[in-house]
Amino acid sequence: MPTTVISHQAEAPVKESHHALKVAGLLLISIGLLGILVASVGADYISPVLTGLGGTLVLTMGALLYIWQSRQYKSPAEQNQGMWQRQATSRGASAWVIGFVLTGFYVLLYWFPDTLQGLIQAMEPLSQWLRNRPSDQWFLYGTFYTLAVLVMGVYALLKYRTSRYHIIRTLSVMFFQLGFAFLLPGLLLLFNKPEYYFSYFWPLKYDYLFPGTVDYLIRDGAALGVFMVFWGAVFSFLATPVLTYFYGKRWYCSWVCGCGGLAETAGDPYRHLSDKSRKAWRWEVAIIYPILGFVILTTLFLWINSWSEGRLLGNLSGGFAQTYGFFIGAMFSGVIGVGFYPLMGNRVWCRFGCPMAAYLGLLQKYFSRFRITTNGGQCISCGNCSTYCEMGIDVRWYAQQGKPIIRASCVGCGICAHVCPRGVLKLENGPQENRYAGSPLIRRDDLRILS
């Protein structure tokens, strides 16, 4: 008994210091946000670099301090505690405010970039250093996006630190976002080469195989431009089917893609908000495949138009491309896809809108070795797996019957397996034969002990 008293006494100051550091983190976050706000509205009166770039740095330090303090002392079992109680992660008032701010930022970014001039100017030194050219709204966006993936990547690393799979997967998305989607495109511009994102492919980056972009890359990029077109085409039509055959769509959606990277890091606190109903699944199928069809048709029309020099389709193909760019490329992927994280979960775009996810999903369902096997006899029907499936798959339904999960939408994030207290679920890349065979399940009625 005295030992317990002493240890409790010793714990108290430690807890107090954790609390103090958390408060310090929150204070830095508030100062950083204030700086960003001042840069947005007061660039004419005070240096936006000082307030905007300085504010971003202070915000980053505060967020890292807060995340470190709030995650490192929690056990794996405690990491999701209170998700449905906290306002910000259970569609409460603060979730609506975050959703409103995110959506508003995307609206300004796409259609009213002049309103972001203060923040754009704030990034000027960074833009000059990396790209040797003035900052613009897309550089501002890229910087914020990359910071969000890196900072919340630290959150995911701490939250899932007991799992080697999740550590490597999180490091992978952080690496691809920082290296392939931020630094490399900037360095290409620095050396006067075309800006190119080597980790995005058609049909997600739909214009990469449009004739206008292909012409531009070959003309302005010379040998490197030809390589870029070759790289994009090979990844879209050859590497994607081959890699998906071996690993399922997870190789891209949960390891490489920038949209998936943001969803798995900044979006992680919202993953349980995905709708698991059958109605949501019907919407998913009814929207995502037509979008894939739309982008295929648009690309074909543009090439037909280009080959016929406009004689066959006139302005029709251009209209298709503009419509797709506005409604899907801007509104859906940005405004709704990220802006609605706090209300509809972190994979709204990947689940309902992304044509790459649809393409990968078809390959995964009909032409892949990937599956999640379920040792159904061990399942206690707790429902953790279904709750934290960001793609809205009712994983428990499969587990209860010992059926393997082979779904087009599964992005292979592996969180269902991580949160399962019974080790029921396993992500596997086995042979295609017997892929749908379930595990032998012992039911109560099968035992017939008394008969």
Of 389, 403, 404, 408, the one binding ligand SF4 by CB under 6 A: 389
Of 54, 334, 361, 414, the one binding ligand SF4 by CB under 6 A: 414
Distance in Å, CB of 400 to ligand SF4, minimum: 7
Q: Tell me the per-residue interface mask from 153 to 182 with ligand SF4, x by CB under 6 A, - otherwise.
A: ------------------------------
**Among 268, 239, 244, 58, CA closest to 173:** 268
Task: Please state the φ and ψ torsions of residue 201, each to the nearest 5 degrees.
Answer: -130, 160
Segment (H or E) for 426: strand 425-429
- Shorter beta-carbon distance to ligand SF4: residue 82 or 423: 423
Region near ligand SF4 per CB under 6 A, out of 175-183, 283-291, 319-327, 385-393: 385-393
DSSP 425: E
- Shorter beta-carbon distance to ligand SF4: residue 36 or 427: 427
Q: Does 381 bind ligand SF4 (CB under 6 A)?
A: yes
Of 204, 393, 394, 408, the one binding ligand SF4 by CB under 6 A: 393
d(CA 394, CA 211): 41
Q: Does 412 bind ligand SF4 (CB under 6 A)?
A: yes
Of 174, 385, 403, 408, the one binding ligand SF4 by CB under 6 A: 385
Q: Does 396 bind ligand SF4 (CB under 6 A)?
A: yes
Of 413, 436, 443, 450, the one binding ligand SF4 by CB under 6 A: 413
With b for 16 or more beta-carbon neighbours within 10 A and e for fewer, the 10-21 pattern comes to eeeeeeeeeeee
Beta bridge partners, 428, equal 371
**Among 63, 189, 51, 42, CA closest to 128:** 189
Q: DSSP string spanning 225-292?
A: HHHHHHHHHHIIIIIHHHHHHHH-THHHHTTT-HHHHHHHHTTGGGGGGS--SHHHHHHHHHHHHHHH
Q: Does 130 bind ligand SF4 (CB under 6 A)?
A: no
Q: Does 91 bind ligand SF4 (CB under 6 A)?
A: no
d(CA 24, CA 19): 9
Measured at the CA of 153, the angle between CA 396 and CA 55, to 5 degrees, comes to 135
Residue with tokens 């891209």: 252
Of 49, 382, 406, 441, the one binding ligand SF4 by CB under 6 A: 382
With b for 16 or more beta-carbon neighbours within 10 A and e for fewer, the 196-227 pattern comes to bbbbbbbbbbbbbbbbebbeebeeebeeebee
Distance in Å, CB of 386 to ligand SF4, minimum: 7
Q: Does 67 bind ligand SF4 (CB under 6 A)?
A: no
Of 80, 244, 333, 384, the one binding ligand SF4 by CB under 6 A: 384
Q: Does 380 bind ligand SF4 (CB under 6 A)?
A: yes
Alpha carbon 33 to its chain centroid, in Å, reads 23
- Shorter beta-carbon distance to ligand SF4: residue 344 or 391: 391
Region near ligand SF4 per CB under 6 A, out of 86-94, 331-339, 355-363, 382-390: 382-390
d(CA 388, CA 271): 6
Distance in Å, CB of 427 to ligand SF4, minimum: 6
> For residue 203, is the peptide bond before it cis, meaning its omega torsion is within 30 degrees of 0?
yes
- Shorter beta-carbon distance to ligand SF4: residue 149 or 395: 395
Q: Does 57 bind ligand SF4 (CB under 6 A)?
A: no
Distance in Å, CB of 413 to ligand SF4, minimum: 4
Q: How many CA atoms lie within 13 A of 157 on its CB side?
A: 15
- Shorter beta-carbon distance to ligand SF4: residue 331 or 372: 372
- The interface with ligand SF4 within residues 337-376 (CB under 6 A) comprises 372
Of 383, 428, 438, 439, the one binding ligand SF4 by CB under 6 A: 383
d(CA 291, CA 286): 9
- 3-state SS, 340-391, equals CHHHHCCCHHHHHCCHHHHHHHHHHHHCCCEEEEECHHHCCCCCHHHHCCCC
Distance in Å, CB of 350 to ligand SF4, minimum: 9
- Shorter beta-carbon distance to ligand SF4: residue 39 or 424: 424
Distance in Å, CB of 367 to ligand SF4, minimum: 18
- Cα end-to-end span (Å), the chain: 53
Q: Tell me the per-residue interface mask from 417 to 446 with ligand SF4, x by CB under 6 A, - otherwise.
A: ---xxx-xx---------------------
Of 38, 147, 291, 411, the one binding ligand SF4 by CB under 6 A: 411
Q: Does 253 bind ligand SF4 (CB under 6 A)?
A: no
Residues of this chain that bind ligand SF4 (CB under 6 A): 372, 379-385, 389-391, 393, 395-396, 399, 405, 410-416, 420-422, 424-425
